[in-house]
Amino acid sequence: MFTDNKFIIPKTITGDKQYMESDGIGPDEVNKKAEIGFCYVGDATTGTTPISVSATTWTVLTNDGASSYSLCTYLPYGTSSDIFNTTSNQFEWDDGGLALGDMVDIRFTGEVTTSTSNQDVIIELFMAQGSGNDYQVLLFEQTYKTAGAHRFAVCGDVYMGDTDTLNYPAQFKIYSDASCTAEVEGSYVKVIKRSSSY
C-alpha cells in the first residue's frame, strides 16, 4: 500500500513480479530527524555594559541570549536550546540532548578593549567544570600592540569523548596580563550527532 510523501522500498518478489510498499518515513520525517544543525546565542547586554576584566584574572564571558539575532530553531532532532544556559553562562551538553560521540563546532565573536600596548589576551573554553577532571581548550591568544578596541572571532571544536565532558558544564573565559573590557556578540554552535536519532 502506498501513502503520500513516503519513500518507496521493495517488499517481496513473487514469481516474476516485484512488489513495493511505502516506507515508514519520508522527506518530512527525515527533515525532523536531522543529525546536523545549529544554534546561535546572541548577547544583548555587554555591548552597552562591557565585562570588566582585571589583570591576570580569568573572567567569565557572559551571554544573556537576549539578542534579536538569537536562533535555535534548527538544532538537530532530539537536541534543544538547553545546550546553553543563559543564567549560568555555561554550555550544558547533556541537558541540550547531546550524547557520547557527538561533536560541536563553535564560533565565538566579540570585542576586547585593551588598556596598554603589547597586551596579551587569551580566551579558553573551560571544560568539564566541577567534575574533578576539568580541562581547558585554548581558542584564542593574541598580543595587541596598541591600546584600544579590537574585534575577535574565535573558532574551535570539542567532542563528547567521555562522561565528564558530556555531563559537566563548559564556559568561555578571558584572561589578560593587564586590565581590559570585553563585549560579547554571540556564539554560533554547530551540533553534529554521531548516530541516527530514529
* Residues 9, 82 within the same domain: no
Cα–Cα nearest to 2, from 24, 17, 30: 24
Residue 194: the pLDDT is 86
State the Cα–Cα distance between residues 129 and 169, nearest whole angstrom. Answer: 6
Examine residue 58 and state whether it is found in any structural domain, yes or no.
yes
CATH number at residue 72: 2.60.120.760
Enumerate residues 6+ apart whose C-beta is below 8 A from 14: none
Cα–Cα nearest to 37, from 1, 3, 81, 5: 81
* Residues 169, 72 within the same domain: yes
* Residues 7, 96 within the same domain: no
Residue 133: the pLDDT is 98
- Regarding pTM above 0.75, the answer is yes
Examine residue 138 and state whether it is found in any structural domain, yes or no.
yes
Examine residue 89 and state whether it is found in any structural domain, yes or no.
yes
Examine residue 5 and state whether it is found in any structural domain, yes or no.
yes
State the Cα–Cα distance between residues 120 and 108, nearest whole angstrom. Answer: 18
Produce one character per residue of 145-176: b if its CB has 16 or more CB atoms within 10 Å, e if not.
eeeeebebebebebebeeebbbbbbbbbbbbb
Enumerate residues 6+ apart whose C-beta is below 8 A from 117: 144, 145, 146, 147
Residue 31: the pLDDT is 52
Examine residue 82 and state whether it is found in any structural domain, yes or no.
yes
Q: Which domain holds residue 3?
A: 1-32
Examine residue 198 and state whether it is found in any structural domain, yes or no.
no
Residue 60: the pLDDT is 98
Contacts of 12-16 spanning 24+ positions with Cβ under 8 A: none
Q: What is the pLDDT along the chain (198 residues), one digit of tens a residue?
A: 545 666 565 666 666 555 555 555 555 555 555 589 999 999 999 999 999 999 999 999 999 999 999 999 999 988 999 999 999 999 999 999 999 999 999 999 999 999 999 999 999 999 999 999 999 999 999 999 999 999 999 999 999 999 999 999 999 999 999 999 999 999 999 999 986 555
Per the structure, the count of domains in the chain is: 2
